Amino acid sequence: MIKSFDNARIVATTLFSAVAFVTGGMAQAQEDQLHPSLPQPSIASSLPEPLRSLGGLRPWLYDRGISFVFNYQQDLLGATTGGARRGTTYMGRLEGVLEWDLDKAFGWKGALFHVGAYQIHGLGLSRHFLQTIQPVSDLEALPTTRLNEIWIEQKLGDQFSVRFGQLAADAEFFLTPFHSLAVGGAYGWPAIMAANLPNGGPAYPFASPGVRLRYQPTADILLRAAVYNGDPVGANCVGDPQKCNRNGINFRMRDSAFAIAEGEYGYALPYQGGLTGHVRLGAWTHFGRFADKRYDLFGTALAAPTSVGLPLQHRGDHGVYGTFDQQVWRPSEAKEDADKGIFVYGRMSGAPSDRNAVNFYFDGGVNFVGLLPGRPNDQFGFMGAYARISPAVRGADFDTNLYTAAFGPIRDFEALLQATYQLQVIPGWNLQPNIQYVIHPNGHVVDATDPLGQRAVRNALVLGLRSSIKF
């Protein structure tokens, strides 16, 4: 069993949280007097001066167009049964984001500058113990200090904007707002993208140079499209791609492009004062070359003794997807209950089988928001994700067994189930116990500890606790 705990960080976080908890009674009385420079919710609202405003620095910067926020998330996760082996890990991520209103600062109307960075520490449970395609924590990444997004956005009127710089596709595309309750990485950038695009594509922990267009002709319709450098690391990387772009400053510009577009429609069902919902349809394409998962240049199985060992190359890759979220019940028709109730949501996507490891993906869940008496800011939910291993990969496994007289498992799918409860301790600080179950880790891959190479990695039960602090 491996444990990775940074005692200094844990003690500092505990003390900081304790101070916030002791002073938490001040928050409600002062909520209406909080300066607009504070993000909402923020643990700073529960702190006395000079901590709340950092000695007046925060409002002074805000008056000059500069705002910032720090998010500190920590996961304590344990694989209690199954997986490649059992163990417990700690993972933490401190995120800092600064935005500068260039209109307020220089009179550059409609312009906004944004920069964000991560400090990531600890060990990932999926990487070291579970061997999953979809990580059980969306914090999981190689420990490092990393630049994330850095961009300028220019608004052209009230309907159109363009954003350019180093961008992350998972910040705007293939999302619903309700997936954010989930702890697992599957519910962010889905496996059908992370497993198929070169080095995972422009998504956490990577960002990549690109341009994004956004057009909102009405309050109900939103269109967005973007083009990125399609490989945040590059084809010459050997080994772990996160080591090849460890600090997020490679700024690659010459790799094949990745393009994605999405349309969104919002509506309200005529029940209970309006039950809100959204549907989104999107498509993507990558202009690089992709190796066939089963056959070589001459159509012979790659596992066959007569194969030349060079996979058939396909020109480009592509896929389609759809997402939805729907409020199905709310406590009352009162305006203050518009964001409370029961919400269902999901995503579905498909991609070609011959060049992709995952050719079909689905996830979904149900969230219960603000329903417990006396706990208006708590929520809990149940989620599931399913990534189907493509027929080409399954065929390659069959070929390997056929030509080598092996009896290894045939990969088929990986599925994750999760239940979680998010409890607000004070505004800006949440605790979130969670339980996850992983079915067929890595698609039912061979367990490396089996000397015969016939046993698959076992299904895994994971217990966890997340702490999230916003300042």
* 198 located within any domain: yes
Q: What is the pTM of this model?
A: 0.90
* 358 located within any domain: yes
* 1 located within any domain: no
Could you tell me if 206 and 199 are in contact, meaning their C-beta atoms sit under 8 angstroms apart? yes
Residue 273, phi-psi category: left (phi > 0), alpha (psi -120 to 50), beta (remainder):
left
Q: Is the pLDDT of residue 32 over 60?
A: no
The two tokens of residue 39 are 């993000």
Helices (H) and strands (E) in the chain, counts: 8, 16
Tens digit of pLDDT for each residue in 348-378?
Answer: 999 999 999 999 999 999 999 999 999 999 9
* 124 located within any domain: yes
Could you tell me if 70 and 96 are in contact, meaning their C-beta atoms sit under 8 angstroms apart? yes
- pLDDT value for 34: 64
127: DSSP letter: I
Nearest to 434 by CA among 451, 447, 417, 448: 417
The two tokens of residue 344 are 């269902």
The two tokens of residue 159 are 């309907």
DSSP-derived 3-state class of residue 471? coil
* Between residues 19 and 373, the one the model is more confident about: 373
pLDDT-derived band at 10, boundaries 50, 70, 90: very low
* 72 located within any domain: yes
Alpha-carbon gap, residue 468 to 89, rounded angstroms: 17
The two tokens of residue 396 are 């390659």
Parent domain of 440: 7-470
* 161 located within any domain: yes
Alpha-carbon gap, residue 349 to 411, rounded angstroms: 19
Q: Is the pLDDT of residue 4 over 50?
A: no
Tens digit of pLDDT for each residue in 309-330?
Answer: 999 999 999 999 999 999 999 9
**How many domains, in total, are found in the chain?**
1
Q: Is the pLDDT of residue 161 over 90?
A: yes
The two tokens of residue 125 are 């449970």
Output the DSSP codes for 321-382: EEEEEEEEE-S-SSGGGTT-EEEEEEEEEE--STT-SEEEEEEEEEEEES-BTTBTT-EEEE
Alpha-carbon gap, residue 385 to 188, rounded angstroms: 11
* 2 located within any domain: no
Q: Is the pLDDT of residue 275 over 80?
A: yes
Q: Which residues contact 155 (CB under 8 A, 6 or more apart)?
A: 110, 111, 112, 161
CATH, residue 86: 2.40.160.180
